[in-house]
A and B are shown apart, each in its own frame.
Chain A
């Protein structure tokens, strides 16, 4: 690099030109060249002119026209598809005896719906047509998260149709076929939700009359939805006269219906009993291939008891199912509520027993079908306790060596009984201080070395015993760098790694661990990103995962000698989190989502010789990060099947499971395994600290004092954020990160919590990432900020019932200009307000329409402000806007909080200078004050209140690490917020393979038949 000499005579001239180039002011180049004293200076001036050209070009680039929001809002419209009224038929998804079911697009409301169309024309108002129309009429009375939401029923051009929410998921029958019978706790969770749904139906004066596994859908996130009321009838509508009509699926029909008695609540409950029987056994209590055979079997009392089909199930569960299946309706439960209570009692029993015996198979809590819930977590602690906990894991570390995770410590502080899930005593964990690293690689098989990438992008090794570091590459200032994937050979002499070359291509390289002989092993145009994951035992081959340009994934072996690539298996995206080669080199195991829509992975095994693949571990939970033990007799993997992410071991033999998974550690927190050494030491990264959403009462009329906060979620503790109240104060929406790795698509769910009864349902908006939910005034739509599945950032409108996205405002148009800055609901809650920083505030309809400018930032003297997303809030009465952001007119590091009443000039209320920053903002419900959070340093963030009329801000009595996401309830009596911050640490766990044998078979694997 050339440093210009201090004595150079042309310094002053060059500096002056440089100043002009930087400022973009004109330079008389010819004159300057003439003035230059030396040839060198002249040449330098010519180069400065080139630089000025670069600068001028970039300054001259056209502002690109903004997006047409209406076009973006109308997603999914497929031209030419047939219409039924306002609905565009997109694809047929089902065929029933009465009609066909379609996925359709509601062009008026821009949402996806399921449409059931009657095949025959209703000549003279036939019974079938009136049934379908009746179904809609009946169902319109029922609103429950576990009952399909029917939008309407109509007759268009003589065709009768019924449209309802579109459920993305599978039926329980499909689930059963894919995964085999459910465990008792899973079936209990299903039973509880079906009972809740059925209670509402019965309460509305109807019977379902067709409960069966094909009529219960499980959404991708776990919500169960009771479907298809095609045979539903009102109880009061002359049951006796209509009772002779038999409808529903014969296998599920109560015996009394076969002899002409009327359908009742008890006959629905019998069907629930058959459903539970079927879910845990795969068969039915009364078998038959025809209606007559079934009637005969019922008449003769031929039935198979569930205790005979699955004797190992908890006795209490068997009792409840058998009672629901009593041939005599009088002996069954008297109501759906009674059955629900009985199931709930069984669930408690299973949980209690599980704490001592088989807790590992309990995937669910009392409250629903959320297959991956953790234990109840009740915050009874005072605010002081939460503050202590939130200040960090360091406190927890001092308490106990094994309570290394903040979440664990917090739970023990507040949940009372000792944690039954602490690790076995021989599994010792220890934190290792890692040098500053951009990426961390895998440990060497002998456990002595760990590779990493330095902050500069060089490849380096960390000696795990001595703590010494060694840099292997020297890229200097060049733009090339080592990438995230590395693998050390069994003899520790070689390191394979991914290298970003100067031209932007990613190469697979190997280098000696002393830094000598680097070479390119693989560089191919069709490979986007090669990842070395493991070496063969003899060091002759490298197991690699290739991210292909065409977006799929290849698992392959690369010969170190010839560079030859042998593909073992091709997969669709996403990339497995871990691929592991068996010690004998015959198999690879890897994690992969079972379907493209799933966030949950299963463990697969593929034969190296022919790529034959089988699912090794199948469970509704997330199973991932498989590692082969050095002896080849076990696969260690991670799973959240016990509610939290833990470690499990699966015995294997000849590429098949040789038993069920055994829990090694049921709650390791959010960890990311790096590798397992031959001696059985697991190295892993641990995310410490937790982020959660809380509510707290506001204890003064002006919302300037806060009471004791409570955590909102009892499950998935520590991975929730961004909460907001619905306008009617009945619901709280928040974002829950459920995946092991939160960059996974579909790892985020939008949880809708009913704060009145504590129930919760989960929405899965088709977005890669989203935060900051904000409710429309009718509580039907939620505005979120995020990125869609194509990676486009913006704001999106999410249906609060279905989770479907039916409106999109991209932050940038397709052509790149900032189209939309911050977005908020208009005061009426039916339109959107958005801003373009420096330009103004606009209003538009939720779908389409031309934006109307309602505030001109320049005219208001606000053009220099860039409001930040968390600090852009419309006042409750809609007459003012409050925001914070940077101001181009102030020095760097300054943020200002301003309020703008539309009739008045804007007013600056607070000005902060770094390190102090605002982290969020909310209006007091009466509009006279603002609550904001202010971070003073990296850990402490305090809540402040200031009158919109100005004056001194004052503290509102809450200081928490990472406080943000404020939202005041519409009645002004409560606040919700997010607190906490994650950190990452390197940990090791010893003796993973030398533990005493633990029984505890786990029923939800392959072949779970008793």
Chain B
């Protein structure tokens, strides 16, 4: 929180630290989100980097709820950007899509793992969650943050409190997803 506030107050060092903190995590995360053929069209990591940098350019205006919110916000920004890239790529077929080895491979690793419908259901339910729940889930499930990190990012008093918040949020998310089926 202090770091985010510093970054928002124009402290470049703080902004730098935040970028260094979130960029690798988001880049790793994004590899699970982009279909393989789309990755051939546009370097995922460049997209992520660009989006993160763009977001940080406007960080002084960001809702100051804390780093948990920032992480969720960055994730949403990257996701939007990736969708954008996919749409773009679909409009103009590239050589990569004509390659028989990759032509069938339109799903992202995540969709391959759990199915497109499930991913969509998960995504939609996540969007309907309370921000604190969403932030906790994104941090733990998608970004692989430790409970200590989540406590720091969400302002929980202890790692144990953060762990419980995540677990309760997961049940709520599952219930929310269930309503769609």
Contact = CB atoms under 8 A, between A and B. Distances in A.
B171 A64 contact: no
A64 B61 CA distance: 33
Given A57-B32, A793-B19, A814 B45 contact: yes
A980 to B, nearest CB: 10
Contacts of A62: 31
Chain B interface category by residue count = 35 or more
Interface string A788-801: 00011100000000
Given A22-B167, A479-B127, A914-B2, A57 B114 contact: yes
B174 A504 contact: no
B158 interface: yes
A791 B110 CA distance: 28
Interface in B3-18: 5, 9-13, 16-17
A358 interface: no
Contacts of B110: 54, 57
Looking at chain B's contact residues, is the secondary structure mostly helix, strand, loop, or mixed? helix
Given A18-B167, A57-B114, A771-B13, A51 B141 contact: yes
A816 B175 contact: no
Contacts of B46: 814
Contacts of B19: 787, 793, 811
Contact of A57 (B44, B53, B113, B128): B113
Contacts of A888: 146, 148
A503 B12 contact: no
Interface in A426-480: 438-439, 453, 455-457, 477-479
Nearest to A768: B53
Interface in A767-806: 769, 771-772, 785-787, 791-793
B61 A1 contact: no
A21 interface: yes
A984 B60 CA distance: 10
A107 B151 CA distance: 50
A64 B31 contact: yes
A905 interface: no
B82 to A, nearest CB: 9
B159 A892 contact: yes
A754 interface: no
A504 B84 contact: yes
Contact of A504 (B5, B80, B170): B80
B62 A438 contact: yes
B61 A816 contact: no
Interface stretch (A25-33, A39-47, A258-266, A627-635): A39-47
Contact of B32 (A51, A58, A503, A769): A58
Contacts of A237: none
A364 interface: no
A691 B6 CA distance: 13
B101 interface: no
Interface string B54-66: 1001101111110
Contact of B131 (A14, A57, A61, A477): A477
B20 interface: yes
Given A44-B171, A888-B148, A892-B148, A51 B122 contact: yes
A982 B54 CA distance: 21
B124 to A, nearest CB: 10
Given A47-B174, A57-B113, A58-B144, A816 B81 contact: no
Contacts of A816: 24, 27-28, 30-31, 44-45, 48
A637 B5 CA distance: 31
A57 B141 CA distance: 9
A869 B175 contact: no
B146 A771 contact: no
Interface string B123-158: 000011111001001001111101011011000001
Contacts of B42: none
Given A43-B181, A812-B23, A870-B13, A53 B172 contact: no
Contact of B170 (A18, A61, A455, A821): A18
Nearest to A50: B118
A531 to B, nearest CB: 13
Contact of B177 (A19, A47, A982, A984): A47
Interface residues of A, number: 87
Contacts of A61: 28-29, 31-32, 109
A111 B28 CA distance: 33
Looking at chain A's contact residues, is the secondary structure mostly helix, strand, loop, or mixed? mixed
A124 interface: no
A743 B54 CA distance: 10
Interface string A975-1010: 000000111100000000000000000000000000
Nearest to A56: B113
Contacts of B129: 1, 477
Given A4-B171, A18-B171, A869-B13, A891 B61 contact: no
A253 to B, nearest CB: 51
Nearest to A771: B12
A811 B20 contact: yes
B104 interface: no
B2 A915 contact: yes
A952 interface: no
B17 A869 contact: yes
B12 A438 contact: no
B2 A44 contact: no
A892 B151 CA distance: 7
B114 A53 contact: yes
Contact of A19 (B17, B45, B128, B167): B167
Contacts of B61: 438-439, 453, 484
A622 interface: no
Contact of A479 (B50, B76, B113, B167): B76
A772 B13 contact: yes
Interface string B65-97: 100000000001001110110000000000000
Contacts of A868: 17
Contacts of A722: 12-13
A720 to B, nearest CB: 12
A156 B24 CA distance: 47
Contacts of A97: none
Contacts of A4: 171-172, 175
Nearest to B118: A50
A22 B109 contact: no
Given A51-B173, A484-B61, A15 B159 contact: no
Contact of B178 (A40, A785, A787, A869): A40
Contact of B114 (A54, A64, A455, A815): A54
A722 to B, nearest CB: 8
A48 interface: yes
A891 B148 contact: yes
Given A22-B167, A477-B127, A869 B20 contact: yes
26 contacts: A1-B172, A4-B171, A15-B171, A22-B140, A45-B174, A48-B170, A50-B121, A54-B119, A55-B142, A58-B143, A61-B28, A63-B28, A455-B65, A477-B129, A500-B80, A502-B127, A771-B16, A791-B54, A793-B20, A811-B20, A812-B27, A815-B27, A891-B158, A981-B9, A981-B10, A983-B9
Sorted nearest first, the 8 A-B pairs with minimum C-beta distance are: A504-B80, A816-B27, A892-B152, A53-B114, A47-B174, A816-B45, A791-B53, A47-B177
Interface of B: 2, 5, 9-13, 16-17, 19-20, 23-24, 27-32, 43-46, 48-50, 53-54, 57-58, 60-65, 76, 79-81, 83-84, 109-110, 113-114, 118-119, 121-122, 127-131, 134, 137, 140-144, 146, 148-149, 151-152, 158-159, 163, 166-168, 170-179, 181
Interface of A: 1-4, 14-15, 18-19, 21-22, 40, 43-48, 50-51, 53-59, 61-64, 438-439, 453, 455-457, 477-479, 484, 500, 502-505, 687, 691, 721-722, 742-743, 769, 771-772, 785-787, 791-793, 811-818, 821, 868-870, 888, 891-893, 914-915, 917, 938, 962, 964-965, 981-984
